[in-house]
A and B are shown apart, each in its own frame.
Chain A
Amino acid sequence: MKSILISSALAVLMLFIQSTWLSRGVVLGVIPNLAMSVLLFTSFINKNGHGIIAAFMTGIVADMLSASPIGYFAFLFSSCAYLTTLTSYVTEKDAVVIPFLLGAVATIVMGLLSRILLWLFSADIHAYQIFSVEFGVELIMNGLFTTFIFFLLSFIQPFFEHSPKKALP
């Protein structure tokens, strides 16, 4: 429970930073998805699925901050977190390659899932324009920022890890 709350709180903090300090974007007006990077980290180190719950909670807050309908980012973040948790079973975390790929692939997954959501619920749903320059910039930027966030959070990793209660002898 502690890991879920800490991860969600940090991801929500990142959402506020995205909507205020980084609101003009970093390159070509594109905002890096720092909240998603934090959730990818939590999902990767917690193989028990706590990252998915943190992603769902953060997604609901993202929906409140955004013009999106409630449930939109909750679905996108939860899906990315689930895929990251599954990935953690087949690979080990390294310094650069895996975090970069996780950030980039998560962006692609969000792009594809947003298209599916647009098809399922047409009203008020926006979808990523996958073949646009901006999407390419976001993909690379999310990869780079995820690498950076993984590096920073690795110093305080125990706060984000689920610590199961030890059974009494």
Chain B
Amino acid sequence: MKNSRVHGPTRIVHRKAAICLVLSLTILFVSTKTMARIPDIFQGYIIGGIQRGYAAVSSFFSRSIGAVSQLRSLQRDYEALLDKMQDYELRERDFLALKEENQRLKELLDLPNLPDTKKIAARIIARDPSNIYSSLVIDKGYVDGIKKYMPVIAYQDGVEGLVGKIIEVNASTSVLHPLYDQRFFAAARLAKTRAEGMINGQGFRDSPLNLLYIPKSEMEQLKQGDIVVTSGLDQVFPSEIMIGRVESFRLNESSSSLVIDVWPSIDLSRIEYVFALDRGPNE
């Protein structure tokens, strides 16, 4: 009588594994070497549609549950806001005065105005399902005017800061490469000394960015809290967009440049809305 008990993995298990692994590597080879794309109709509408649906369900539940507890705090917040409002009215007057002064100084220095850019507002509806890649999905696609490599900014606590760039555009959604990604690079400079370098992410939202290629000679003038902005030399990001502030810096003995840690001005774990910058047909 034939023994039906299985004592070890059968040949069919190894065969299935071999087929799946070889197929994966083949697809990976094709997708990395030839940039083979899955049909836009599938990626653009079906995947994007499901992501939008989940985001909608998610926000519905969080809004409904959160609304009950928010009612109590609303009254307190309202009273506090009234006080703040008076304070802001005073500040606004100061701000308008400073703005006019800034405009006058710009005219005196004869600085060219930045070309007008159209800002396309978008909401972040999903993030990368894994920890290893760090993409963000926004709810605007090519039907809304989004194009590949568009710079993306956001406003937080009154600061305009760099978020990343568009790397994939579908019909109704787009994938955004955030600046903390380990493969993100942008031409940057120190706002005070104008020294130019390159900003690079470390792969984690909670880690500082690295500002590379700043010469050692800048060390004496460099201070904690110095502002880092885009230089515009990479032709992807407009110049003078705030990236962050210098957190720490040290000498690298084996290199002629400094190692500077930069804390991003935008906390990407909290942002919900971003703006893609459309700089016209030259994009």
Q: Which residues of A contact B (CB under 8 A)?
A: 15-21, 23-25, 28-31, 33, 35, 47-49, 52-53, 55-56, 59-60, 62, 64-75, 78-79, 81-82, 85-86, 89, 114, 117, 121, 123-129, 132, 134, 138
Contacts and interface: CB of A to CB of B under 8 A. Distances in A.
Contacts of B32: 69, 121, 123-125
Contacts of A114: 132
B252 interface: no
Nearest to A114: B132
Contact of B16 (A52, A62, A70, A129): A52
Interface string B197-213: 00000011110000000
Contact of A74 (B27, B128, B135): B27
B128 A19 contact: yes
Given A19-B128, A20-B125, A71-B25, 17 more contacts: A20-B126, A25-B269, A31-B131, A47-B13, A49-B17, A52-B20, A53-B16, A70-B31, A70-B36, A70-B38, A71-B26, A71-B30, A74-B28, A78-B20, A86-B13, A121-B28, A128-B132
A74 B24 contact: yes
B203 A82 contact: no
Interface in B92-139: 125-135, 137
A73 B128 CA distance: 12
A126 B182 contact: yes
A34 to B, nearest CB: 9
Chain B contact patch, size range: 35 or more
A21 B51 CA distance: 11
Nearest to A62: B129
A48 B12 contact: yes
26 contacts: A19-B128, A19-B129, A20-B125, A21-B54, A29-B206, A29-B269, A33-B130, A47-B9, A47-B13, A48-B13, A52-B13, A56-B24, A65-B51, A66-B129, A67-B134, A71-B28, A71-B31, A74-B20, A75-B21, A81-B17, A82-B20, A89-B9, A125-B32, A128-B131, A132-B204, A138-B131
B24 to A, nearest CB: 4
Contacts of A127: 132
Nearest to A23: B127
A134 B27 contact: no
B47 interface: yes
Nearest to A16: B54
Contact of B9 (A21, A79, A86, A121): A86
B133 A126 contact: yes
B21 to A, nearest CB: 5
Given A56-B23, A67-B175, A49 B12 contact: yes
Contact of B54 (A20, A30, A47, A75): A20
Nearest to A137: B131
Contacts of A134: 131, 204
B45 to A, nearest CB: 12
A45 B246 CA distance: 52
Contact of B28 (A20, A67, A75, A138): A75
A114 B204 CA distance: 17
Contacts of B127: 19-20, 23-24
B132 A75 contact: no
A16 B105 CA distance: 51
Given A28-B206, A78-B17, A73 B51 contact: no
Nearest to A24: B269
Contacts of A48: 10, 12-13
Given A29-B269, A56-B20, A85-B13, A69 B31 contact: yes
